[in-house]
Amino acid sequence: MTTPAEIDLSILPPEVRAAFEAERARRLALEADVAALAEHNRRLEHLVAEFRQVLYGKRSEKLSEDERQLAFEDLEIAVAAAEEAKTSASATPSASRPARTGVKRNQGRLPAELPRVERVIEPASTLCPCGCGEMARIGEDRVERLDVIPAQFRALVTIRPKYACRRCAGAVAQAPAPAHLIEGALPTERLIAHVLVSKYADHLPLYRQSQIFARAGIELNRSTLADWVGKAAFHLAPIVTRMAERLKQSTKLFLDETTAPVLDPGRGRTKTGYLWALARDDRRWGGADPPGVVYHYAPGRGAEHAATVLDGFSGVLQVDGYRAYKTERDARGDNRRLVLAHCWAHGRRKLREIFDRDASPIAEEGLRRIAELYAIEAAIAGMTPEARRAVRQARAKPLVEAFAVWLTGARARISARSRMGEKLTYFANHWDGLTVFLDDGRVEMDSNAVENLIRPLTLQRKNSLFAGHDEGAANWACIASLIETCKINGVDPFAYLVATLEAIAAGHPQSRIDDLTPWAYAAASSSNA
């Protein structure tokens, strides 16, 4: 049998040959369409299979490359912090700063084309102590460390000339080597600050920073960066501890918590830890204390963790409706009294959720009443606590009392088990805490101030997926405390960390640790401006 492709078209009449060729072209076009549709269907089937795997498939215990990098990163930071703690603990009391061997990765491998900034440190005197006169320069020590100006790398060269007397061999003069945060290692304090800000403020994991360095010709592996961060975290931790002590000396604070996924290597997946944010922000009523926040990492969300975070504090605590706070309050005696001020914004969100879903008239009425209270709050922002309390007593208290009457009536008309009933129960269960603001001009209507301070942590969590280890999450909390406190005090975190790390390297005394807090740096910067 002869196939169409084997037919000799030349023997056909012209009109038949034209029709045949047209038919063959249509057939080839249809075959191409069928092949394209088949390929499209295969692609759709693949996507559907992937979608089903995500929804219903078993999760592999194998870690992705990103997950492995993040896990190694935080573990190595924890190891470096532990090694630094061990080194510091073993230092003799007489040593002003113990010599450290340090990690010498990448030492002496800075690219030749990197700009050099030479800093010559001369000795205090070049006169020979024997009275022979001026000493002659006989050599020098050169040390290159990697420094950074954001978006521009450079090598910082420290030159310490040596001087000796040509008339006698009894003396050599040379300036002492400046102290460094990490002795014997490559980075300047400025570079360490840059890495910290990139990781904890700009949410850039260390392995990605390593890739950025490589594009500039700087070979710094993730382990090297992790070692630097761990040592810096160790030295900065006492400042955060002192910040927490200072916050707890206040009589009114905010507290909230958010999840912090942490890798659980034994199970090949993450577990849920928590970052607790203890904050002070008295700016709306002109308080003298500067704003600040300290984050605490805990492996859980139980009341025992709330007790640890709040140890040493008594006074008014502005919180959401989480029951752990009530448990801690009830467990205290009168000498450590805790007054819970609950959040109207949480209740408002619950009503808004119902209103957006089905335009409930009850939810609409509740939202209208709460809006009237917030309008009063906007009008008294910046007033003294006494003035705020007076306005609230005159204008807000009658509205709150009317809200209570409306709430009782609304709850009587609906089932407590309905969605609306559950939302209204929040107000009923926390009514005492919701009315604290009426009698205290320092108290806000909501805990939005601390929630705003938690948002940067959720962004870090989104970009980094999770912390690689419990110790990594604790270091995250430590550095984030400094960075976020800088932000709310109007301080550049990079400038603060550079100044603080340099001060620590120079041997800043522990007795003056308050001078190293972000709010102290902010005050000093304002006075020097």
Helix/strand/coil (H/E/C) assignment for every residue in 385-433: HHHHHHHHHHHHHHHHHHHHHHHHHHHHHCCCCCHHHHHHHHHHHCHHH
Rounded CA-CA distance 209/494 in Å is: 16
Stated pTM of the model: 0.73
Return the pLDDT at 96.
Answer: 45
- pLDDT reported for residue 51: 43
203 vs 529, residue with greater confidence: 203
pLDDT at 60 over 50: no
Amino acid letter, 229? V
pLDDT of residue 458: 56
* pLDDT at position 398: 96
For residues 232 and 86, the model is more confident at 232
- Per residue in 347-362, pLDDT (tens digit) is 898 898 888 888 889 9
Q: What is the pLDDT of residue 6?
A: 57
* Cα-based torsion angle of the residue sequence 77, 80, 81, 83 in order, rounded to the nearest 10 degrees: 160
User: Using 50, 70 and 90 to split pLDDT, how confident is the model at 456?
Assistant: low
Q: Span 141-162, mean pLDDT?
A: 87
Residue 62's pLDDT is: 46
- What confidence tier does 40 reach under pLDDT thresholds 50, 70, 90? low
Share of the chain above pLDDT 70, in %: 82
**Model pLDDT, residue 258:** 83
Which tokens belong to 28? 């080839």
Integer-rounded Cα radius of gyration of the chain: 33
Q: Of all residues in the chain, what percent carry a pLDDT higher than 90? A: 45
3-class state of residue 137 by DSSP = strand
Average confidence (pLDDT) over 71-75: 67
* Amino acid 91: pLDDT: 60
Say if residue 268's pLDDT is above 70: no
Cα 251 from Cα 316, distance rounded (Å) = 6
Is residue 41 scored above 70 in pLDDT? no
Residue-level pLDDT at 103: 46
Is residue 466 over pLDDT 60? Answer: no
The token pair at 239 is 């400042």
Q: pLDDT grade, residue 98 (50/70/90)? A: very low
Structure letter (DSSP) for residue 439: G
* pLDDT above 80: residue 254: yes
Candidate from 261-275, 334-348, 399-413 with smallest mean pLDDT: 261-275
Q: Tell me the average pLDDT across 410-439.
A: 90
Using pLDDT thresholds of 50, 70 and 90, give the confidence band for residue 415. confident
Q: What's the rounded Cα separation, in Å, for the pair 495 and 508?
A: 17
**Joined tokens for residue 488:** 């709310």
- Read off the pLDDT band of 474 (50, 70, 90): confident
Is the model more confident about 24 or about 454?
24
pLDDT of residue 210: 93
Domain spans of the chain, in order of start = 240-492
Q: Which residue has the higher pLDDT, 518 or 462?
A: 518
Q: How far is CA 306 from the centre of its chain?
A: 21
Is the pLDDT score of 59 beyond 60? no
pLDDT at 148: 85
3-state secondary structure of 3: coil
Residue 314: is its pLDDT beyond 80?
yes
Tell me what pLDDT residue 237 has.
95
pLDDT band at 46; cut points 50, 70, 90: low
Q: Return the DSSP state at 149.
A: E
Which of 16-20, 204-208, 379-383, 491-495 is least confident? Answer: 16-20
